[in-house]
Every structure is written in C-alpha cells, then in structure tokens.
Amino acid sequence: MFRVIFTAIICAGLLACTSTPKQSVEQRRAEVLKMRAQTISAIEAHQSNIRSKIKSAPGYAVFSNANVNLIFASFSGGYGVAHDNQSGQDIYMKMGEAGLGLGLGVKDFRAIFVFKTRAAFERFIEHGWMVGAHADAAAKGGDKGAAAGGEIMADDVEIYQLTESGLALQATIKGTKYWKDDSLN
C-alpha cells in the first residue's frame, strides 16, 4: 500500500514539472528560455567560465529534470532546449531516463550539456541517446541544504548539474533519450 501511495505522489510531482497545456506555444517557449537563463546563471556561481565554454562550443543544451529512484530503479523526465551556436537556432526538446542501481529519493535538478564537437551536437539532436554512470547525494530545499554529484559521460559532452531541491542518495547506470518537442518547434 505504501508503495502505491508513494508512486502516485511521485507521478503527481512529475506531472507538476510539465508546463500547463492551456499556455500558448509562445508562453511555453518563454518558460523554457527563462529556465535556461536561470540555470546558466546558477551554474555560473559555481563554474565561473561556463558562459565562455558555452560560447566557444558548437552547441549546448539546458534541461530541467525530475528524478525518482526507488531502490533498484531510477526514472526521470524533463524538458529543455538545445542551442546551435552556428545557426543560432533553438531546438526545444523533451527527455526520459531509466536506470538500474541502488538508491532512494526524489530530486529536481537542472543540467547544462556543452558539446565539444559538431558531430556530438548533431548526434544528440538527431538520435538523442546517452548512456552513463551517475552517483550523487542531495538533501536540498530552496536555499537550504546541499547537493553533490558526479557524472561520467562519453561522446565529447561536458555536463554541469545543479540540484534545485530533493532528497536522494543514488548510484546508477542509466540510459537517457532526448527528442525534439514537436509541439514547440
């Protein structure tokens, strides 16, 4: 019974992280771009050269993600935007993730992906698969608490992650799928 209630709460929380369907396309795009600007500013407080890395890269992406880890499995979903520095185009995207490992918790976090090569950026946009290992500990609510994390990814991508809120302790191997959001592009 506890597991069913916990799962229902988690699902409701994940749904709350999505934008309201009554918003116009322009309003939803503006929400994503606002999240991008806030995330870059927040990560800049810990990584002072993030803007220069973003500017010199072929492209970058910023995502907001809600993650749930229940003992042996990890699931998450989110949204974001990839930016092609060559063309100046924004590509609005969604994401889903599943992993196996040990852990328990729920967290809301933001991530910036800086692509080191044009090929890595194009593979991300067209195919959207990433596989990696992740370990972190987070206990944060608003401005209180702390979070630490580490990410190992291949394919010429640097990832900077910031936990917004949550309580989690996890170590997982995970696969993540990113895809274009047809409703916003």
Q: What is the full DSSP assignment across the chain?
A: -HHHHHHHHHHHHHHHTSPPTTS-HHHHHHHHHHHHHHHHHHHHTT-TTHHHHHHHSSEEEEEEEEEEEEEEEEEEEEEEEEEETTT--EEEEEEEEEEEEEEEEEEEEEEEEEESSHHHHHHHHHT-EEEEEEEEEEEEETTEEEEEEEEEE-SSEEEEEEEEEEEEEEEEEEEEEEEE-TTT-
pLDDT at residue number 175: 77
Say how far residue 5 (Cα) sits from the centre of its chain.
Answer: 26
Contacts of 144 (CB under 8 A, 6+ apart): none
Instruction: Give mean pLDDT in consecutive 10-residue pieces for the chain, a chain of 185 residues.
Output: 39 45 90 96 89 97 84 84 98 89 72 93 90 50 46 71 57 77 96
pLDDT at residue number 110: 87
pLDDT at residue number 159: 86
pLDDT at residue number 47: 85
Tokens of 68: 């749930």
The pTM of the full predicted model, rounded to 2 decimals, is: 0.75
pLDDT at residue number 129: 80
pLDDT at residue number 21: 58
pLDDT at residue number 32: 97
